[in-house]
Structure 1
Amino acid sequence: MPMIECTLIEGYEKDTRQLLAERVTDAASSTIGAHPDQVIVTIKEVHATNYMRGRVTRTPAAAPKQPDILVREYLSAMEQRDLELAKQYLDKDFTMVFPGGVKFKKLEELILWSGKRYKSVKKSFESFDTSFNGLEATVFCSGYLEGTWLNGEAFSEIRFIDRFIVSNMKIKFQSVWNDMAESLR
């Protein structure tokens, strides 16, 4: 049974410590093949006066917003067509790719393109999955689309998967896959 000890400066929220322990457990399980129930993770907290780096005592920084939460907030802003809010989540070099290889750099381009396809669309989520590579995260979300076609007819239960690359608290890339074309047959 692996035992992994983490040392933190006192002050991190309980949810942050819990998430750290869960992710360390997952990393150990996937790296050495130990069942999660066999991985022991302990978190030792050190008072700030007993923690020094670079000859200076430190206090903990606020934990960053998790990538899946950023993606959810971005998608919510897009659904509400609050483009100014949605843009706050995007990296300056943001790119999105839709089925058929259609690429956009600006949200306004997407709105113009989609306005020729449907009147409205909403996503119902079934899952969010996040993986990490250093400070960069990949977030997959999947579920179903519903909305209204240009002719006023409703559509629903159209499968989708979106893949996001998140770095430095900004979305750099979005790939979209869905069955919209299949539903038009």
Structure 2
Amino acid sequence: MPVVELHLIKGYGEEDKRRLGHALTDAVRFVLPAPLDGITVMIHEMAPDAYYRGRDTKTPAPALPDPAEVVRAYLAAMEARDLDAARAMQGDGFTMYFPGTGPMADLSELIDWARPRYSFVTKTYDGFDAMPGAGDTSVVYCRGTLSGEWLDGTAFSGIRFIDRFELIGGRITRQDVWNDMGEMRGRT
């Protein structure tokens, strides 16, 4: 069974180490058909003065935030219409694509696009999947259903959606949205 050993400079919190252990376990299972309890991950910590690179001791860089939690917080801010909080989670060059749109760079564009479509929408989440992307990018998919109210006051619910997010350095740089709202509009 696979054994993974990781050496870290002391300074990371328990949650950071837990996330590393889970990510390394998942990385092994992505390639090898090992059972979950057949994979051992050992994290060895060393004092900062016990590690040298280029004749200098080093201190650990802070851990990145959990990308799935960043996306959850962003979506919660959007649903609460706390656009300033949502903007604070966006990275340089942020772009978003919704069904039938080209790229939008500011949340005000999204609000304007949605205004003639529905009164409000909320999301119920079935799951979040986070994974490494190319280079420094993290990718998060979230999926579930949409509920809300059409402009005529009619309620809707159970509309499928999937969102894909790209994050760099813990900030969202791209959002792609797919849903069945166009297929359901006018049916309820």
When normalised by structure 2's length, the TM-score is: 0.91
Give, in angstroms, the shift of residue 81 of structure 1. 1.4
- Structure 1 stretches of 4+ with a deviation exceeding 4 A read none
Partner residue, 2:149 = 148
Q: How many residues align?
A: 185
Corresponding residue of 2:161: 160
Alpha-carbon contact 2:64-2:169 (below 8 Å) kept: no
Q: Counterparts of 2:101 and 2:112 in 1: how far apart (Å)?
A: 16
* 1:61-83 deviation line (CA, Å, top 9, x unaligned): 32111111111111111111122
Deviation at 1:98, TM superposition (A): 1.3
Q: Say whether 1:116 aligns with 2:116.
A: yes
Q: What RMSD in Å do the two structures reach over aligned CA positions?
A: 1.6
- Where do 5+ consecutive residues of structure 2 fail to align? none
Question: 1:54-65 alignment to 2 at 5 Å?
Answer: 54-65=54-65
What is residue 33 of structure 2 aligned with on the other side?
33
Q: Distance in 2 between matches of 1:170 and 1:16?
A: 18
The letter of the residue matching 1:138 is V
Deviates more, 1:165-174 or 1:58-67: 58-67
Q: Which amino acid aligns with 1:164?
A: F
2:181 corresponds to which residue?
180
Alignment gaps of 5+ in structure 1? none
Tell me, what secondary structure is at the counterpart of 2:116? coil
Once the two structures are TM-superposed, the CA of residue 102 in structure 1 deviates from its matched residue by 4.1
- Distance in 1 of aligned mates of 2:2 and 2:112: 54
- 1:1-185 pair list within 5 angstroms: 1-133=1-133, 134-184=135-185, 185=187
The Cα of 1:91 is off from its aligned counterpart by 2.3
Quick one: which amino acid aligns to residue 141 of structure 2?
F
User: Greater CA deviation, 75-84 or 98-107?
Assistant: 98-107
Task: Determine helix, strand or coil for the equivalent of 1:104.
Answer: coil
Aligned to 2:65, the other structure's residue is in SS state coil
| More deviation, 164-173/57-66 | 57-66
User: How far did residue 176 of structure 1 move?
Assistant: 0.6
For residues 10-36 of structure 1, give each alpha carbon's deviation from its aligned partner in whole angstroms, at most 9, with x where no partner exists. 221111111111111111222233333
Structure 2 counterpart of 1:94, one-letter code? F
Taking only the aligned residue pairs, the percentage that are identical comes to 44
Shift of 1:111: 0.2
In 1, Cα distance between equivalents of 2:112 and 2:52? 54
Using the TM superposition, give the Cα deviation of residue 92 of structure 1 relative to its aligned residue in structure 2, in angstroms. 2.7
Q: Supply the distance in 1 between the matched residues of 2:91 and 2:171 (Cα, whole angstroms).
A: 5
**Counterpart of 2:43 in structure 1: which amino acid?**
I
